[in-house]
Amino acid sequence: MDRRVAFVLSGCGVKDGTEIHEAVSALIALDAAGYRVLFTAPDVPQAATVDHLTGKPEDTPRYVLKEAARIARGKIVPLSTLKADDFDALLFPGGFGAALTLCTFASDGIACKVNPDVERMISIAKNTGKPIAAMCIAPVILARTIPGARITIGNDPETAAALEQMGAVHVECSVDDAVTDTRNKLVTTPAYMLAQGPAQVYTGAVRMVEELGGLFR
């Protein structure tokens, strides 16, 4: 297999960036399945910065691309530089950065806006038939950008209702499974929206990657 997955990060750390367990679980699942991963992130300031030891907000600014480079081991490119020929699929791990910086769902709810580079990449994927995967809270990005998207965040009724108000179809899903929208070529899994630990996150990530493979057919 020589398929390339653009792995879209939102920083480093669950409270203001990418959830690290989810990112690593998805990376291992992709690597085991034979995909090549291209790390990418918007080159913008984080919408919020949180001290992960205390859980309190910090005044020190952090930048998404630089923080995401921690997970990528330094090999990462700005999302704005990617073109259609650079990738065969998109994947969004969760973490609050997905709902703070990649989109503004955490602050604006159903009126949220999506980062322009993220929106551009989703548009490219849709227009060229490339699959998109998302974990945890990241499916809210798909709800905002893809009318009628069939997605899951697990079973939280309030979040599910918000997704449906944005025009998505929410499907309840167990932590070890994934929901596939064959029409829109989407696959989503609940991850830490339901998971009690990294083993459950990994099981869901493996299932997501299995389903992703079917969307290339």
Residues in the chain: 217
Predicted pLDDT at 35: 97
Range of the domain at 141: 4-214
CB 191 within 8 A of CB 136: yes
Identify whether 136 is a catalytic site residue. Answer: yes
CB 136 within 8 A of CB 93: yes
CATH code at position 159:
3.40.50.880
Segment 19-29 mean pLDDT: 98
What tens digit of pLDDT does each residue of 59-117 get? 888 999 999 999 999 999 999 999 999 999 999 999 999 999 999 999 999 999 999 99
- pLDDT at residue 38 tops 70: yes
Could you say which DSSP state residue 65 is in?
H
Predicted confidence band of residue 1 (pLDDT cuts 50, 70, 90): low
Sign of CA pseudo-dihedral 5, 12, 28, 75: positive
Please tell me which residue in 12, 103, 136, 173 is annotated as part of the active site.
136
Strand-pairing partners, residue 134, are: 92, 188
Where are the alpha helices (H) located in 72-197, listed in sequence order?
96-100, 105-108, 116-128, 139-145, 157-165
pTM score of the predicted model: 0.96
How many domains is the chain partitioned into structurally? 1
CB 101 within 8 A of CB 42: yes
